[in-house]
Each structure stands twice: as structure tokens, then as C-alpha cells.
Amino acid sequence: MRTALLTGFGPFPGAPVNPTGSVIEAVKAQPPEGWRIETLIFETTFASVPSDLDNAARTLSPDLVVLTGLAAEAQRIRLEVRARNAVLPGRPDAAGRCWTPGPIEPGGPEERRTRLDLDALAEAVKAAGADVEVSEDAGRYVCEFTYYLALGRFSAPAVFVHLPMTGTPGAALTAAEAADALRAVIAAAARFTR
């Protein structure tokens, strides 16, 4: 049996409710066949993410890492191709702290890219019934910060999945549809690693 680490985030300024935690817990409760799911909910802070990632990398040794974040304005799921070694300064995290101008990892590569074939994963998500797009912009906030660090800390393939808001009137997806889309990503990932 393979192990997938699924991560989500807590609330942050502008999003007092972040559905990623409940969505990944739903996937854990009903994982894709052949997979065991471990979950981790990050505080949406620049200070806490590095140690949480280090601890997960040290203790879990997953076969796949699927990080999720909320893109409240999005109308479809976004599969993120890359993470840049930069965060936009001036946007406070959940602790009210802003990123200091400069790279995430001084001396690190300008960007890190997933090893997964995101076009193939997008087809799997579409087959699960959700609208999806492949994106080159992970947002330059705590999501991009986390993705950049994860791509450098785990030997397993990793992907960041931005979910639209779920569970509210007019939402692009229900929480159940978002969970089905994540199950499709996990099930397809083993076949589409580059």
C-alpha cells in the first residue's frame, strides 16, 4: 500500500473559513484503492510551515505529496506546475506577519517544478466531473511558499492543488466534488510521474 500526504491550511485574512482541511479529511476517510492517506493542516503562517514540512518529511516518507490551498476567487481547480523562490511582500499571513522582501531560500533555484504530468492529472480530474486548469502561478503567498519548500524537502513527487471555495451558495464545487477530484489526482499520480 502506498502513502500519500495531503495537506491543507487553516483560515487566513480574507478567508475566515478554509475548506481544504475538511476536504482532505474526507479523502482520508475514503481513500483511493491501494492508498493510505496522512493529513496535515498548516497554520497559514510563514513561520510555522518550514518546521511542519520538515517534521512530515522526516516522519512520514510518503510516496506522493498533494498540497491543497484555497483560491476563493477561482471557478475551477488549479493544478500548479511550479513554485517560484519568491513571495510578494506586504500581504499578511494568519499571524499578521508579512514576508520580508527576498527569496524564500537564499541561493535556492529560481523555481521548482513538479515531476507529475499535470495534463494527464487534469484529464483525471475532468473525468471525475470537475473543471480544472493547469496553472503557472501558485499565488506568491503562503501557498507558493509552502509548495516551493515541499518540492525541495520531499523525494516523492509533489503537486499543489488550488481548490475554489466549496460549501457556500454559488460555490464552484461542493466539498464532495473537491474530494473526488483529489482522489482522482492521487489515483492518477502513480501512472503519470515523469
Cite the active site residues.
80, 143, 162
Distance of alpha carbon 160 from alpha carbon 20, whole angstroms = 12
Identify the CA nearest to 64 among candidates 134, 121, 21, 10. Answer: 121
Q: Residue 44 is placed in which grid cell?
A: 497559514
Q: Please list the helix, strand and coil fractions of the chain in percent, rounded to the nearest 5, in that order.
A: 30, 25, 45
